[in-house]
Amino acid sequence: MKLQADFPILNQPLIYLDSGASSLKPAVVIDSMQEYYQEYGVNIHRGVYKMAYRATEAFEHAREVVASFIHAPAKEVVFTRGTSASLNLVAQSVGATLQAGDEIIVSQLEHHSGLLPWQEVAKRTKAKLVFVPLTKEGRITTENVRSVLTDKTKIIALTHGSNVMGYLTPIKDIADLVQGKDVIISLDAAQTAPMKLVDVTALGCDFISFGAHKMCGPSGVGVLWGKFDRLQAMAPVEFGGEMNDGVDLYDSTYKDAPYKFETGTMPIAEVIGFAKAVEYLSPFDHIQETERTLVQSAIDQLNALDGVSVYNTNPDYGIVTFNIDGLHPHDTASYLDEYHIAVRAGHHCCQPLMKWLGVDATVRATFYIYNEESDVTALVDAVKAARDFFGQF
Ligand SMILES: Cc1ncc(COP(=O)(O)O)c(C=O)c1O
């Protein structure tokens, strides 16, 4: 399917292989946000004039659209600033209930946004962080989670999909392991929501966090999904306008979830754009498989090049992580940029994983719905050219 025409940014020479950081935005998403600002760009949940009702209806309709995308009721969808904000909300609120000696299972695959909030909780409560051992390949397995599960485990906070290795976590099996136990599972789905792999009825988790900007939507908005009783039991961590039910001098009452977590003016245009992105993605089937086909082709060709090391030879979706031997990844990425190829270079907000891999940084190419085999060819040719160019010095 030729999708380039849907994405105005592709009207220029660009081979975009950095969707793992942020995807491109189709015109329908951009237009929906512009329409809001031009036609009814006022605040929500407050005004009693018609335009304010229109804005409120668009916002609440967006909640329903995003909820149905993950098979959840709308009341379980909290809009946040993004994945990081959602993960922090769970850690700050649920984490505050932990006690010294309680255990939080995390992994070395986590994005910093999945790890640091729990590090803070551990420091404050004296709960203990426990790392799931990774397999030789770098994967989280159910068996390895079982090996660190104890009576003290209170939280399992894992990524659903690694943003460096392209590995999926067998989260349903892990959830089955702790079924009936007093253990809360918080899932980081930043990389998997864009592939439509988030079905809250199938994953068995308590909380799931993801953002719009990696799935054709705008930046500045994301979702915390939580089971309704879990959300109701959680204390808000931000206080102020609109999240309250009634305010007195010394005390106040708060609304039910999800509203008690949505303090102040929300990113209204972004929420509306998010819903459009979800609608845009709805006809796409098998995004994961399509990505995997492209990335496997890239990996096979990169592996065949002398002087190139690939760190994830068997990913589940469209991420390849590699280095040209002896070359700093920033040099590789800058060289590729001369060919209008956009890739990410660095630690990918995963410094503990870089340690595990034994490197400071890598080059990462990520594939999404608008990429094609010709992009793989361009990447491989440019990597070869970079290797040969820098190899002369
Ligand atoms: C796995 C993972 N978790 C969390 C994040 C943080 O997402 P955001 O920057 O949207 O808050 C990212 C983004 O790179 C990610 O890939």
CATH of the domain at 384: 3.90.1150.10
Q: Is residue 299 part of a domain?
A: yes
Closest residue to atom 16 of ligand 1, CA basis: 163
Could you tell me if 201 and 261 lie in one domain?
A: yes
Q: Is residue 240 part of a domain?
A: yes
- Give the residue, out of 109, 191, 195, 348, with the most ligand 1 atoms within 8 A of its beta carbon, to mutate for a pocket test: 191
Cα separations in angstroms, 388 against 335, 381, 382: 11, 11, 10
346: its two tokens = 């660095």
Characterize 382-391 residue by residue with b for buried, 16 or more Cβ atoms within 10 angstroms of its Cβ, and e for exposed: bbbebbeebe
Could you tell me if 115 and 67 lie in one domain?
A: yes
The rounded distance, in Å, linking the Cα atoms of 236 and 257 is 9
Contact criterion met (CB below 8 Å) for 311 and 165: yes
Looking from the CA of residue 83, the nearest atom of ligand 1 is 11
The rounded distance, in Å, linking the Cα atoms of 351 and 255 is 39
Could you tell me if 304 and 273 lie in one domain?
A: no
Looking from the CA of residue 84, the nearest atom of ligand 1 is 11
Contact criterion met (CB below 8 Å) for 274 and 212: yes
Could you tell me if 62 and 157 lie in one domain?
A: yes
The rounded distance, in Å, linking the Cα atoms of 227 and 246 is 25
Of 246, 281, 316, the residue at which a domain comes to its end is 281
CATH of the domain at 124: 3.40.640.10
Could you tell me if 246 and 330 lie in one domain?
A: no
Q: How many domains does the chain have?
A: 2
Could you tell me if 228 and 134 lie in one domain?
A: yes
The rounded distance, in Å, linking the Cα atoms of 230 and 73 is 14
List own/partner pairs for 34-38 with CB under 8 A and 24 or more apart: 36/268, 36/269, 36/272, 37/269
The rounded distance, in Å, linking the Cα atoms of 66 and 223 is 9
Active site residues: 349
Could you tell me if 292 and 252 lie in one domain?
A: no
Residue 211's SS3 state is strand
Of 281, 313, 334, the residue at which a domain comes to its end is 281
pTM > 0.85: yes or no: yes
Could you tell me if 20 and 167 lie in one domain?
A: no
Q: Is residue 294 part of a domain?
A: yes
Contact criterion met (CB below 8 Å) for 15 and 379: yes
Q: Is residue 169 part of a domain?
A: yes
107: left (phi over 0), alpha (psi -120 to 50) or beta: beta
pLDDT in tens, the chain (393 residues): 579 999 999 999 999 999 999 999 999 999 999 999 999 999 999 999 999 999 999 999 999 999 999 999 999 999 999 999 999 999 999 999 999 999 999 999 999 999 999 999 999 999 999 999 999 999 999 999 999 999 999 999 999 999 999 999 999 999 999 999 999 999 999 999 999 999 999 999 999 999 999 999 999 999 999 999 999 999 999 999 999 999 999 999 999 999 999 999 999 999 999 999 999 999 999 999 999 999 999 999 999 999 999 999 999 999 999 999 999 999 999 999 999 999 999 999 999 999 999 999 999 999 999 999 999 999 999 999 999 999 877
Could you tell me if 249 and 322 lie in one domain?
A: no
Q: Is residue 32 part of a domain?
A: no
Q: Is residue 30 part of a domain?
A: no
Residue 323's SS3 state is strand
The rounded distance, in Å, linking the Cα atoms of 118 and 122 is 6
- Give the residue, out of 111, 165, 214, 221, with the most ligand 1 atoms within 8 A of its beta carbon, to mutate for a pocket test: 111
Could you tell me if 216 and 273 lie in one domain?
A: yes
Of 223, 258, 281, the residue at which a domain comes to its end is 281
The rounded distance, in Å, linking the Cα atoms of 288 and 194 is 9
Task: Say how many Å lie between the CA of residue 189 and the centre of ligand 1.
Answer: 8
Closest residue to atom 14 of ligand 1, CA basis: 21
80: its two tokens = 């946040």
Q: Is residue 31 part of a domain?
A: no
Which residue range(s) make up the domain with 110?
Answer: 40-281
Could you tell me if 12 and 104 lie in one domain?
A: no
44: its two tokens = 């929500």
Could you tell me if 275 and 371 lie in one domain?
A: no
Contacts with 36 (C-beta within 8 Å, 6 or more apart), sequence order = 55, 58, 268, 269, 272
